[in-house]
Chains A and B, each alone.
Chain A
Amino acid sequence: MKDLKYLLEFENLLEDADNALVRQAQADGRYAIGYTCYHMPEVLLNVDNCFSTRIRAPRSSSIDIATYYMSNYTCEYARSLLERAIEGGYEFLDAIAGVDACSAMNRCYEHIEILKCNSKPHFFVTHTDVPYKIEEYTVDQVETQMRLRLLDVMHEKLGTDTSDAALLAAVEEHNELCDVMTQIGDFRKLDNPPITGYEFHVLCLVSYCCPTPLILPKLKETLEEIKNRRPDEKPFARARVVVAGSEIDDLDFSRLLEESGALIVADRYCYGSFPGRERIELQDGESILRQICRHYMRTSECARYMAQDKITQRRDTIDRLAREYHADGIIFEQMKYCDFWAFERPLASHILEEEYGWPVLSIDRSYNVRGSGQLRTRFQAFVEALEIKRIQKRRAAQEAAGSEVKR
């Protein structure tokens, strides 16, 4: 396929947390609010004079200092962010919108504060409380937290207009972005899609890491380009997979997987598009803020939600995506040393395999996979297994059809 016009530019934007578009927006007088977790409603950070940037630590290598502070059996993602923060990599941020969802990330934020990794006088870190289940009183809880611990602080420290009108404008802009990303993502349902999983990962990441008003026009243009893009006659991939699990912001992961012969047709992980790129549908009769909170709670696929309905939702979502996007199998991954996904992965993998009938590859991985030989071997073996399964299925179908004709 012909290269996408903006692909290289987008890849470059992802080389640094503090990218050119972030700088441009800040030069225009807007404040950059970093965040990591889906429990923090992205749209609330895009209100008025603020914009969100989902933080990453691209190209990170040694994380020795963060390991001194946070020890070595803790989430590599959280440690990589801390290392980058200590190196001064998040000096550009005006705030961090944190949630107390997992202990590793919470401690990472705390270190950023204690070690004074950002010297801007107005810089602040929020610590908002998030629930484990969805009940009316937990929606109250999130709404209260978002109002008191986030919006009010933004207003006080950054002079942000957090009125309903401002929230509404942010939702509208967010929905526009979601529509574009959903349309692009839908191409992956096709037998021979005009976009690869890797490319989609790039687009999805820029949509999280760059200010929406600046990235949206380019994404719209890319959508038009893809509509008219001619896929290769013979697809490169030998199997179609859904990737599900914990955070992935490492493009090398998708690259490695696709180099091994798999096409990623759906991205059900944090920093992927499921969840994150669904429209927020507002209705009358309830405050906008409450509806936003409810939307994020409802769509969240976070393993931290412990009530049974959410546990079932998570498995059903993966199953639904695999069916809708015509996947052959599922890759269930987890960040090394992440407690939530460490427990979720084995159980869900077994259930998806035994009860939902999907072939599943279950792996744990580093924050930066680089060219991991071990992972490559496992990916290749899985792709081969899926391929064999497909051939067997086809043969069985042919045989069945043959005996039908004979009769």
Chain B
Amino acid sequence: MKNKVKYPDPKFFRFKDQINWKKQAENLKEIGGIVAELLKETDWKDVAGSVKGDVKAFKKRVSHEAGLLKGMSREEILDLIKNGEKQLGKLYRSGKMATVRREWRGVKDTGVDFYEWMRMWGMLLATFSKDLVPAMGGALHYRWMISYFCCHSFMDKNTLGLRGKALKMHHELIYAIFRYVAENLVLLMKGDEKVGNSKELSKKVVLLDEMTMAQIMAGFPDLIGIPYQLMPVFLLSEIDQLACEPYIDAVESYGLPSDTCPVPTSECGACVIDALPHLGACFISSSMPCDGSVMASSYTARRFKDLPTFHLTFPVRYEDESIMNAAVEDIKACIRFIEEQTGARWSWDAYFTAMKRFNEETRYELQKWEVNQTPYPQLIGPCYELFRKWNYEMDGGIDPRILNTFKKVDELMKKAYANREEPWRGKMRHRAIVWSVPAHYYANFSNWLANCWGINVLVEMESLNFTKPLETEDKEEALKDMARLYERMVMRRHTNGGYDHVLTELWRQVEAWKPDLVIMYQHVSCKNMSTLNGLFEDQAREHGVRLIWIEHDLMDPRTVSRKDMRSKVNEYMRTVMREEPLDPSLVDFEDDASW
């Protein structure tokens, strides 16, 4: 039997922990104090009132649903049993973090969904069991760890309304992402000085700045690259919309103005309130994707003075090949730096093997685009959007298991396409593409668009990145390709190097995807994008393209709430398009407090 390579290397999980139990006891005591204080300050009458309210609301909902059932015709009941419910807005209740119950998708799909729900739990438990003590102990040190307890809810909200093969495909994709998240959470906590304190592991960890692509780590199979702020900040804000607020507030009270982008702002805030684990042999900071990110690294450097840092910087005018040498030299310098800090050696073999895989994955990706450009798009929605970004940036062909995910999804997609399936419960009415930066705190917005208005998002700007196969034989050429890839990382590909990459590019993509609507996100504090607002507006008129502008503040829902975002679409669809929603229950509902 062929010797299967295990990924991540099991030895990483087996390294010895050096937990400082005295410190854990002190921390536990502090938490105990906080809990006691909370309990003391709790108004128990209020709690009782709230429980009573919940019971009442539950009864009301049950009787309402029973009433609806009674009023249904036989056909409608059969349809409900077979295809599931149609009014998803009823699953939300004002002021509640979770939905009132899970979605009924019809017998078959509910079965699929339940199976996947169990599979996810199984995977999470198995992964956390690889080193349970630090993994769970992390939750006592880092508030953000708690948000990961609601990852099932994240899965649910991203798959809301999906049916058939689309549902299966989404589960495959989100499973792969969460496996990666769970493994990295365990490693982070195991290596963190405050928790597992595994020095052996820490020496093997290379921390990567938030948006720094992982591919460079493919040449270091003995090390593990962890995107430093991904778990405590970036992904967190997608899972729990309120999670980044404390970071933002902390750094603003430190003196940062409130108009900066919440990505670097939250990263700096996480440094200020000490929310980042302390581990690693070194840190690869980067100038990408934008001015704010450049500056955030000075906060990290300040917080972790003992962490050797390399600044990976690439030319902004990336089409200009006359300066390719600077990018290549920087990659070489970065490789040397990692070697010096860790004692590991760069392996071209390992790099080429992973990039061959990445090339294959890119080929699969292009097939998805091909299908989505037809009148029968199949793999659309939030899990796909998230997966594409994650695979391109964080996985980068390194994890061999991901190729299987691609293969499975590809098979499902082709079958679904052959059957001309509809991914959502409701039928597609509009083809849309998303342009500009999507809101993290509303990562499943495309799901709402489809369920409420039948607007199917075929692709997002952030998915449309570098697709040229990377060189896997010639070493100098390979470095150049790596530079080209990094220069075209998510967001940077569009926001850097001139307006052609984002403004003119939109009209090119409109040609290719033939949408009848463009969901135009307006991230109010993204300087790169908002400096083109007027030109987008002017040129959209010239090109006869309909833009629905939707403001948001990326990780801070206090500036523009999810509900405000929805109301922009509602208004547009009703007044400009003169349409009525597919699911009226989704037009107006409260989810300000929900995850």
Given A337-B259, A342-B259: A138 in contact with B326 (beta carbons within 8 A): yes
Instruction: Kindly list chain A residues whose C-beta atoms are within 8 Å of the C-beta of B285.
Output: 306
**Max count, chain A CB within 10 A of own CB: residue among B290, B296, B322:** B322
Among B257, B302, B311, B495, point to the contact of A347 (Cβ < 8 A): B302
Contact A140 B326 (CB under 8 A): yes
Within the complex, which residue of A73, A111, A303 is in contact with B530, where a contact is CB–CB below 8 Å?
A: A73
Contacts of B291 in A (CB 8 A): 102-103, 304, 339-340
* Interface set, chain A 116-130, CB cutoff 8 A to B: 127-130
Give the residues from 72 to 110 in chain A that come closer than 8 angstroms, CB to CB, to chain B.
Answer: 73-75, 78, 100, 102-104, 106-108, 110
Interface of B is mostly: helix
Q: Does A377 contact B (CB under 8 A)?
A: no
Q: Contact partner of B292 among A68, A130, A308, A343, CB < 8 A?
A: A343
Q: With the chains together, A351 CA to B299 CA distance in Å?
A: 12
CA distance A340 to B291 in the complex (A): 6
Verify B532–A107 contact, CB threshold 8 A: yes
- A343–B313 touching, CB < 8 Å: no
Which residues on the B side are within 8 Å of A106 (C-beta)?
498
Known interface pairs A129-B320, A145-B323, A349-B255. Does A343 touch B498 (Cβ–Cβ under 8 Å)? no
Task: Using A103-B527, A339-B295 as known contacts, say yes or no to A131 and B326 having CB atoms under 8 A apart.
Answer: yes
Report Cα–Cα, A31/B416, bound state, in Å: 64
Contact present for A347 and B299 (CB under 8 Å): yes
- Is the Cβ of A306 less than 8 Å from the Cβ of B255? no
Q: Tell yes or no: B317 within 8 A of A by CB.
A: yes
Candidates A75, A306, A346; contact of B297 at CB < 8 Å: A306
* Residue among B287, B302, B522, B532 with most chain A CB within 10 A: B532
Query: Count the B residues whose beta carbon is within 8 Å of the partner chain — how many?
Result: 52
The answer to the question of B329 belonging to the interface, with a C-beta cut-off of 8 Å to chain A, is yes
Instruction: Specify which of B294, B317, B497, B533 is in contact with A71 (CB 8 Å cutoff).
Output: B533
**Cβ of A133: which chain B residues have Cβ within 8 Å of it?**
311, 313
Q: Which residues of A contact B256 (CB under 8 A)?
A: 342-343, 346
* Chain B nearest CB, measured from A150 CB (Å): 13
Question: Which one of A107, A141, A346 contacts B499 once the chains associate, using CB atoms below 8 Å?
Answer: A107
Cβ < 8 Å to A, chain B residues 446-480? none
- Does A18 reach chain B (CB closer than 8 Å)? no
Question: Does A247 sit within 8 A of B, measured CB to CB?
Answer: no
**Given that A131-B313, A306-B285 are contacting pairs, would A343 and B326 also be in contact in the complex, using a CB cutoff of 8 Å?**
no
Known contacts: A132-B294, A133-B313, A346-B254. The answer to whether A308 contacts B322 by CB under 8 A is no
Cα distance, A110 to B315, chains bound together (Å): 18
CA distance A307 to B292 in the complex (A): 15
Q: Chain A interface mostly helix, strand, loop or mixed?
A: helix
B533 touches A340 (CB 8 A): no
Closest to B524 in A: A73
Q: Are B294 and A304 in contact (CB under 8 A)?
A: yes
Query: Closest approach, in angstroms, between the C-beta of A363 and any C-beta of chain B?
Result: 10
Q: Is the CB of B298 within 8 A of A311?
A: yes
Rounded to whole Å, the gap between the CB of B227 and the closest CB of chain A is 18
CB neighbours (8 Å) of A107 from chain B are 499, 528, 531-532
Bitwise interface map of A from 284 to 320 toward B, beta carbon under 8 Å scored 1, else 0: 0000000000000000000110111001000000000
Partner of A104, one of B316, B333, B522, B527: B527
Instruction: Find the B residue at minimum CB distance from A66.
Output: B534
CB-contact partner of B260 in A140, A342, A349, under 8 A: A342
B residues in contact with A71, CB < 8 Å? 522, 524, 530-531, 533-534
Q: What 1/0 mask marks residues of chain B from 50 to 66 whose CB sits below 8 Å from any chain A CB?
A: 00000000000000000
> In the complex, are the beta carbons of A362 and B534 less than 8 A apart?
no
User: Within 8 Å of chain A (Cβ to Cβ): is B325?
Assistant: yes
Option from A70, A100, A344, A362 in Cβ contact (under 8 Å) with B295: A344
Chain B residue contacts of A307, Cβ below 8 A:
311
A152 to chain B, nearest CB (A): 11
CA distance A70 to B48 in the complex (A): 52
Which residues does chain B contribute within 8 Å of A340, judged by CB atoms?
A: 291, 294-295
Contact of A306 with B295 at beta-carbon distance under 8 Å, contacts A132-B287, A132-B311, A137-B325 already known: yes
Residue B525 is within 8 A (CB to CB) of chain A in the complex: yes
Indicate if the CB atoms of B301 and A311 lie closer than 8 Å: yes
List residues of chain A with CB within 8 A of the CB of B522: 71
Q: Are A306 and B290 in contact (CB under 8 A)?
A: no
Shortest beta-carbon distance from A62 to chain B in Å: 15
Distance between Cα atoms of A304 and B296 in the complex (Å): 11
0 or 1 for each of A335-362: is its CB under 8 Å from B? (1 = yes): 0110110111111011100000000001
- What are 8 A-B pairs with beta-carbon distances under 8 A? A69-B531, A69-B534, A70-B534, A71-B522, A71-B533, A132-B311, A141-B315, A306-B287
The 3 closest A-B pairs by CB, nearest first: A346-B255, A343-B295, A69-B534
- In addition to A71-B531, A102-B291, 20 A-B residue pairs with Cβ atoms within 8 Å of each other are A70-B530, A70-B531, A100-B498, A107-B528, A108-B531, A130-B316, A131-B326, A135-B333, A140-B326, A145-B323, A308-B309, A336-B257, A337-B259, A339-B260, A342-B257, A342-B259, A343-B292, A343-B296, A350-B254, A350-B255
